[in-house]
Structure 1
Amino acid sequence: AGGRKPLQEWALAVSPRGRLRVRLPCQVSVRPLDPQRYPDADRVLVAVSGAGGSPPPRGRQRDPVRVEYDEALEQMAIVADGVDSKAAVDVRTPVKFDLDIKTSGTGCVKIQKIECNNCKIETEKGTSVLQSIKVQRTLSHSTDVFKKDCVLEYNSVNIEKLQGTSINISTEDGLLKTKYLYAESSSLSSVAGDILLGSIHG
């Protein structure tokens, strides 16, 4: 899209071990902060780009995207009142931020190089792309998931559709469940939990 300029940008001071809560109808991407520029990992950077780089419609009483940080809950919330479904929201968080992301419509989610305790991602019709994710406790998805060379550690995993090149998922005592699995090579293991597999291709 010719390097779209952000329509809105935020930089908020946060706790390095907080949580990101997102409720949007558009594309969301999450990556860690640059450790050289932010050695204390105490910022969240948010940038919203429009579908064609055009400003939001005039006459809106409030910003289409709201970004708020609750110090007591250590939670960063990004919610939308009327953002275009073709918009894109790019978020940089501390690497150990927990994630709670839900998109509606065709909104896709892309997560890269995050290490956290809890990761919950739900999409209505969009695809989830997870790359180099390490999660300690819970991962849940509702639709398509694509992973590239991921090593994943969870207590419980419940995935509708999992697709990738090299997939390695392990749980300690929780359920590992996937309905459709497409991979060139995969390793699924659980120390004490059940493994429920549907259709496997690869």
Structure 2
Amino acid sequence: MLLSTGFLTRQLASGCRRGFWSSANLFSTNKNASNSSGISSSWKVVEKVTERKVPPLSNVTINSTDCPVLVCPADLQQYPDSDRLLVYLLKNEEEDGTVLQLVQATPNTFNIDVHGGTDDKALEVHVPVQSNINAFCNGFGDVSVSEIHSDRLAVVTTTGDIRTKNIRCSEIVLATQGGSVLSKGVLQGKINIKTLAKGSVECQKLQGPSATVESDNGQINIASDYCDKSSVATHSGNIKFGSLHRKCKVEIRGKGNLVAAGLDGRLQAVINQGNADVQISNLVGHSNIEVAQGDVRVQLGETDKNFVHLSADQVDVPGDFGAKTFSENGKVVAQFGREEKDQGDLKVSVSSGKISVERSSWIASLNLKKNLTA
């Protein structure tokens, strides 16, 4: 259920006053000074293309060619009913040949198209906070979206990066062919993130019913994942979690390392070539780590009583775990803990490599010393 406009007005007004989601704070440009309206004051020309009253639940589609785009809520102090659409074209030449078209397809549907002109320009769109946003950027140009609370957000770029800040939508799609994805604050909803080539993904907090995050050859860094169900995959690239909760599937199809701290839930991980370092706070259900070539380090809490099964060329387990060790199919197998119904368990299998087990303190299991930020 979406939050009421009145509630959002109270929550976001202080951020608007301080310009938290102005172009100066979200664009990766040198236009780093902003005026009281939130528009960067370093641009020589700030053209206000339109200001019109629109329904609070609007649909806005933006098509941009070689032009950075910023989408943020209209100033809730100035427009407390969250019913304004404002479009600004920021540039350094009065007549630069840029073509901008705004079409109202239905009473609550608006299409914005910008193309042509010089490379030194940007589009800034202020929308009702509960607007559904579709933004497509061809050519160069980043897309930044902040503080949107709606049913849907979709952003697609060819080479530009995608930046978000505090997004809460029922459905979120972020995809780029040649750029990276950077998410600050919370990203909440049914999340789908995809980068191609060497594009990386960095997220501070994922939350919601599900998340699918995939990169071809880039790094994936998620500071905290609270989604009910997650799937995170790369072809060749490292995957790192600051904390990991509930159910998560991880796949590294080529070469890359996995680091997962503060696991509280269930992990299914498959690594073709690379190492895994997993620190476990609490196991819920069946967890499984499979590595074709590489080493695995498992850190277990002092009071962990879950059943653990380890199989590798070499397995090192401290004596106080009371592990039972034997050989099976040419591998060293170690087992310890209690095997009981409805009890969490962990199975680690390494085809070529070793497994080492370490004790982690109660403080370490809470992950208080980690400071992973996206």
What residue number does 1:69 align with? Answer: 104
Contact 1:65 1:83 (8 Å CA) reproduced: no
Q: TM-score scaled by structure 2?
A: 0.46
* Larger relative contact order (Cα-Cα within 8 Å, sequence gap ≥ 6): 1
Q: How far apart, in 1, do the equivalents of 2:202 and 2:76 lie?
A: 30
**Which has a greater percent of helix?**
2
Q: Are the equivalent residues in 1 in contact too, given 2:134–2:155 (CA < 8 A)?
A: yes
Residues 2-151 of structure 1: matches in 2 within 5 Å? Answer: 3-4=42-43, 5-25=45-65, 26-50=67-91, 53-57=92-96, 64-72=99-107, 74-142=108-176, 143-151=179-187
- Give the Cα separation in 1 of the matches to 2:159 and 2:88: 23
Contact 2:48 2:86 in 1 (8 A): no
Matches of 1:187 and 1:7, distance apart in 2: 41
Q: Deviations over 1:94-145 (max 9, x none)?
A: 0000010000111110111111111110000000110111111242312411
Label 1:190 to 1:176 Cα distance change in 2 as closer, same or farther (>3 A): farther
Q: Confirm whether residue 197 of structure 1 aligns to residue 238 of structure 2.
A: no
- The C-alpha deviation readout for 1:143-168, integer Å capped at 9, x for no partner, is 411111224222x413224214x222
Query: How far has the Cα of 1:35 moved from its partner?
Result: 1.5
| Rounded Cα–Cα distance in structure 1 between residues aligned with 2:174 and 2:145 | 14
Q: Percent identity?
A: 17
Asked whether the 8 Å contact 1:32–1:93 carries over to 2, the reply is yes
User: In terms of Rg, which structure is larger?
Assistant: 2
Report the TM-score, using the length of structure 1 for normalisation. Answer: 0.82
- Contact persistence 1:30–1:111 (CA under 8 A): yes
Aligned-CA RMSD value: 2.2
Structure 2 counterpart of 1:187: 225
Residue matched to 1:171: 209
C-alpha displacement at 1:8, in angstroms? 4.1
Residues 14 and 69 in structure 1, CA contact (< 8 A), matched pair in contact too = no
Q: Distance in 2 between matches of 1:171 and 1:109?
A: 25
TM superposition shift of 1:36 = 1.8
* Distance (Å, rounded) in 1 between the aligned partners of 2:61 and 2:119: 18
Give per-residue Cα distances to partners, 1:160-179, cap 9 Å, x unaligned.
24214x2223325xx62322
Q: Secondary structure at the match of 2:78?
A: coil
**Per-residue deviation, 1:188:** 5.0
User: SS at the partner of 1:47?
Assistant: strand
In the aligned structure 2, how far is the partner of 1:169 from the partner of 1:106?
30
Structure 1 segments unaligned to the other structure (5+ residues): none
Contact 2:201 2:220 in 1 (8 A): yes
Q: Deviations over 1:53-89 (max 9, x none)?
A: 21124xx6xx6111222334x2111102424333101
Count of aligned residue pairs for this structure pair: 188
